[in-house]
């Protein structure tokens, strides 16, 4: 009996993850075609191109030697990122509520932190051809400052991601802990049960404010414009991802869509109280919530330029204060 329950749960989790994964591959395409392209008055790419076809294409490319001081670690990082996102999604399914260590907010925050640390390592280990290594005679007689240390553009983006760890992702974590104040527990099971009894946390004052903070944090964690300073096109081109080619790049592409879905699912668990479960029709709500998030993010990012520290600090500070307000209101 016990054995069959476990087997049944494992199959349900795998099915849930699979369905979520398939939907998540469509998300970048939806953002690109139905939001960005519509706003920019053009037709845009097919929905499947950015999220599904591009990763498959990269799978069949030659696996080039990456230029990095530690190629092994550098190549392992996208896989780590993917596994981390997978773990977060598994932790959100109702079957894992039986394992309290996995299905608590502390574990989820920990997983997301690993993801952010991966960006720092990626940036620090990538040595792309586009900056210092470009064979161009610029340090020559007559040039200014001949003996400075020379940095790759990825080094800047590694530093920026370090900063984002220290203060950038604050709003998201504050928003994650807002429902805790209502449910008085950090375990997802208790949060979901509390909302089954008292109605969705989203529709309280504290929950409403926390949802806004969550959305800002969502954009920061996804590095979408305007918070995409670690991969701003106007200086660091693609930042940490510069050197990934072939299948590693395809994992990067997939992880991004998957993270979009996972964070959307996280929102529906914490603020609406509906965990993603393939065996219940409520998974449709998860999908709808995720789509709303993607559409909102697309609209927001299409109308904003990239922020530098001058705008980033006040906006993150404002979001953090809002998050604190939400928590205080929840505690009262």
Site for other proteins in 265-324 (CB under 8 A): 302-311
The distance of closest approach from Cβ of residue 169 to other proteins in the complex, given in angstroms and rounded to an integer, is 19
> Which of 104/223 has CB closer to other proteins?
223
Binding to other proteins by residue 5, rule CB under 8 A? no
Provide the residue count of the chain. 332
Residue 71 in contact with other proteins, rule: CB under 8 A: no
Nearer to other proteins, 203 or 303 (CB): 303
241 binds other proteins (CB under 8 A): yes
The residues in 184-223 that bind other proteins, with binding defined as CB under 8 A, are: none
Residue pair 311/226 in contact (Cβ under 8 Å)? The answer is yes
Pick the binder of other proteins from 7, 8, 42, 317 (CB under 8 A).
42
- Residues 35, 313: Cα–Cα separation, whole Å: 27
Is there binding between residue 54 and other proteins (CB under 8 A)? yes
What are the contacts of 30-36 at 24+ separation with CB within 8 A?
A: 30/291, 30/294, 30/295, 30/298, 31/294, 31/295, 31/297, 31/298, 34/295, 34/298, 35/294, 35/295, 35/298, 35/299, 35/302, 36/298, 36/301, 36/302
**Any idea which residue has 């520290």 for tokens?**
309
Among 12, 19, 37, 324, binds other proteins (CB under 8 A): 37
Diameter over CA atoms, the chain: 81
- Asked if 119 interacts with other proteins (CB under 8 A), we say no
Name the phi and psi angles at 275, rounded to 5: -75, 150
Decide: is 115 part of the binding site for other proteins (CB under 8 A). no
Tokens of 42: 């053009």
Single out the residue of 81, 229, 297, 322 in contact with other proteins (rule: CB under 8 A).
229
Cα→Cα distances 132→1, 4, 119, 129, Å: 63, 58, 20, 7
Give the nearest distance from C-beta 330 to other proteins in angstroms.
30
| 159 touches other proteins (CB under 8 A) | yes
Q: Does 235 bind other proteins (CB under 8 A)?
A: yes
Does 76 contact other proteins by CB under 8 A?
A: no
Position 75 contacts other proteins (CB under 8 A): no
Q: Does residue 144 touch other proteins according to CB under 8 A?
A: yes
69 sits near other proteins (criterion: CB under 8 A): no
Q: How far is the CB of 306 from other proteins (least distance, A)?
A: 4
Instruction: Classify residue 140 by its DSSP letter.
Output: S
Q: Which residue has the tokens 């099971």?
A: 189
Binding segment toward other proteins, per CB under 8 A, in 172-180, 232-240, 287-295, 318-326:
232-240
């Amino acid at each position: 009996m016990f054995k069959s329950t476990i087997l049944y749960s494992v199959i349900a989790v795998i099915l849930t993850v699979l369905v979520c994964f398939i939907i998540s591959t469509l998300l970048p395409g939806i953002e690109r075609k139905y939001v960005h392209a519509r706003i920019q008055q053009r037709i845009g790419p097919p929905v499947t191109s950015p999220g599904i076809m591009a990763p498959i294409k990269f799978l069949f490319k030659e696996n080039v030697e990456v230029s990095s001081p530690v190629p092994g670690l550098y190549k392992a990082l996208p896989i780590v990122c993917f596994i981390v996102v997978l773990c977060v999604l598994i932790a959100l399914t109702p079957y894992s509520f039986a394992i309290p260590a996995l299905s608590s907010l502390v574990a989820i925050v920990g997983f997301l932190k690993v993801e952010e640390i991966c960006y720092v390592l990626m940036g620090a280990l990538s040595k792309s051809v586009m900056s210092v290594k470009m064979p161009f005679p610029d340090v020559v007689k007559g040039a200014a400052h001949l003996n400075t240390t020379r940095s790759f553009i990825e080094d800047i983006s590694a530093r920026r991601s370090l900063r984002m760890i220290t203060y950038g992702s604050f709003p998201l974590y504050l928003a994650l802990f807002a429902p805790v104040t209502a449910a008085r527990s950090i375990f997802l099971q208790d949060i979901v049960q509390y909302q089954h009894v008292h109605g969705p946390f989203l529709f309280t004052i504290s929950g409403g404010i926390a949802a806004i903070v969550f959305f800002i944090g969502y954009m920061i964690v996804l590095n979408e414009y305007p918070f995409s300073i670690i991969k701003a096109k106007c200086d660091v081109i693609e930042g940490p991802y510069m050197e990934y080619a072939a299948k590693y790049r395809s994992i990067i592409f997939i992880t991004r869509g998957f993270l979009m879905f996972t964070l959307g699912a996280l929102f529906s668990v914490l603020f609406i109280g509906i965990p993603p479960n393939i065996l219940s029709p409520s998974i449709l709500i998860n999908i709808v919530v995720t789509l709303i998030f993607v559409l909102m993010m697309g609209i927001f990012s299409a109308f904003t330029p990239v922020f530098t520290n001058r705008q980033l600090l006040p906006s993150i500070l404002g979001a953090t204060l809002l998050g604190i307000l939400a928590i205080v209101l929840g505690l009262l």
